[in-house]
Amino acid sequence: MIYLNWLINWLGRKRTIWLLFMTNLLGTIYGYIWYMPQLVETELWFWPFVPDSPTASLFFTITLLSFLVGKKWPLIEAFGAVTLFKYGIWAVVMIVATSFTGGTLHWTSYMLIVSHIGMAVQALFFSRYFRFKLKHLLIVALWTLTNDILDYSLGIFPWLYSGLHPYLTYIYFFTVSLSITSILVFYVLVARITGQHKNDNFV
């Protein structure tokens, strides 16, 4: 517990936040570049629903920026927390599932596993500093679940290994379940007790 408190306090230091801001910014840029081939083949109207992971890290990057400038943007925080946790886990599960269905994992696959685990962990560790309320979480829930429905009804989900396509129905239910789980996690960690946290200063 002592080490956990030290880590959370270390994350609240401005030097640490600057480091994470730059790391997440670069990861966000890389993510959008990675999605470019799929975006080119997708109608412009649906672009906001395609690059899931980089959009999640973009929201979190903006959240880190808000910490650095001393502002509170609770809706952005809520988007960042829920989607970062959700897609961090989702991507890791899909990559591992690829290996179990005959796909070959390359070094980039392992890099993505590490980076997406980092996404989910960041969302959890920074929950101590988030201040969004239930109303913000409900807006994020509406967006996230709508995104899931569009992904699997219109086929604009992130490109998956072909061996996973026979399991799309299961992947859809897993994705929706993960969305609901992520929303509940941050309701418990943040929205339910917003205003009770004391240590929200960045040094």
Count of other CB atoms within 10 angstroms of residue 196: 6
Whether the CB-CB separation of 129 and 194 falls below 8 Å is answered with: no
> Where exactly are the structural domains of the chain?
2-193
Per-residue pLDDT tens digits for 35-58: 999 999 999 999 999 999 999 999
pLDDT at 17 over 50: yes
pLDDT at 8 over 80: no
43 in helix, strand or coil? coil
pLDDT at 12 over 90: no
Q: 24 versus 5: which is more confidently predicted?
A: 24
CB burial string 40-57: b at 16+ within 10 A, e below: eebeeeeeebbbbbbbbb
Per-residue pLDDT tens digits for 80-94: 999 999 999 999 999
The pLDDT confidence band at residue 4, using thresholds 50, 70 and 90, is confident
Report the C-alpha dihedral over residues 46, 52, 57, 58, rounded to 10 degrees: 0
Per-residue pLDDT tens digits for 95-114: 999 999 999 899 999 999 99
Rounded to whole angstroms, how far apart are CA atoms 114 and 111? 5
pLDDT at 132 over 70: yes
* Over residues 121-129, mean pLDDT: 93
Name the strand (E) or helix (H) holding 129.
Answer: none
Q: Among positive and negative, which fits the CA dihedral 151, 156, 158, 159?
A: positive
pLDDT at 182 over 80: yes
pTM of the model: 0.90
DSSP type of residue 45: G
Report the C-alpha dihedral over residues 22, 125, 56, 32, rounded to 10 degrees: 40
Per-residue pLDDT tens digits for 147-163: 999 999 999 999 999 99
What is the predicted pLDDT for the residue at 198?
Answer: 43
Closest CA to 78 of 90, 68, 66, 69: 66
* Over residues 125-137, mean pLDDT: 93
What is the predicted pLDDT for the residue at 153?
Answer: 95
Count of other CB atoms within 10 angstroms of residue 2: 6
**Lowest-confidence region among 17-26, 84-93, 186-195:** 186-195
- Amino acid 127 reads S
